[in-house]
Amino acid sequence: MDTATHALVGLICGELGPKDIKHRHLIGLGFGMLPDITNVIFVHPYLGWLAGHTIPFAGGQDFLDFPEILDHWTYHAWLLSHSLLFWAIAFLPFWKRSGAAKLAAVAYASHLIADIPSHTGIYGLEPFYPIPYIFDGWFDAWLWGPVPIALSIVTTALLYVVVRQLRKQYLWPSERTLQHPS
């Protein structure tokens, strides 16, 4: 799944969260994108360099042309950031601390849940990394061209608008007494 769609799914998580969580939209959006930080700073620059691109940033095809990336530490950093086991260790200890911590955990998990079915074959996710079990997903959203990606972004953006409308009627108990809902 592309990072913009992930950001919007995170934004939807933030919108769904109770309004007394400060900066809930920003937290949702940020943590919804966060797992792909390993992609942006490690995997794509390294693979782009390996592929000999002038601008060292890999495209989808480079993964198919250079499967040796699978054994490189950069790819393993990506697998780690997409592991449910890592998520449980990094987020669950803070679950009870605050609403913001819960929202961050949910938004981060939304990214992993969206990526698990959308990577197939050798590029499937390892949901319990470092336990070497590859989940063979159902389709390859990461190889999509600009049109399906745009459709995915527009659909998710529309879903956000719908959720935002619905949230005017569906309130958390803590919001029913709020005098100045934002």
Q: By the 8 A CB rule, do 34 and 108 touch?
A: yes
Neighbours of 8 (CB within 10 A): 24
Among 12-20, 36-44, 69-77, 122-130, the segment contacting Zn ion (CB under 5 A): 36-44
User: Which of 36, 118, 126, 127 is in the footprint of Zn ion by CB under 5 A?
Assistant: 36
Query: What character string, x for contact with Zn ion (CB under 5 A) and - otherwise, covers 73-112?
Result: ----------------------------------------
Q: What is the CA radius of gyration of the chain?
A: 18
Helix intervals (H) in 54-145? 60-65, 73-81, 84-91, 99-115
**Least spacing, CB of residue 35 vs Zn ion, in Å:** 5
* Mask for 39-78, x = binds Zn ion (CB under 5 A): ----------------------------------------
Rounded distance between C-alpha atoms, residue 128 and residue 116, angstroms: 11
* Sequence-separated (6 or more) residues with CB below 8 Å from residue 5: 114, 149, 152, 153, 156
Query: Which CB sits closer to Zn ion, 10 or 35?
Result: 35
- Tokens describing residue 92: 């669950």
Query: Which residue type sits at 65?
Result: D
The one among 16, 115, 124, 125 contacting Zn ion by CB under 5 A: 115
Let me know: does 121 contact 136? Beta carbons within 8 Å: yes
- Nearer to Zn ion by Cβ, of 135 and 172: the residue is 135
Q: Tell the smallest beta-carbon distance from residue 54 to Zn ion (Å).
A: 26
Looking at the Cβ atoms of 15 and 36, the one nearer to Zn ion is: 36
Where on the chain is the footprint of Zn ion (CB under 5 A)? 35-36, 115
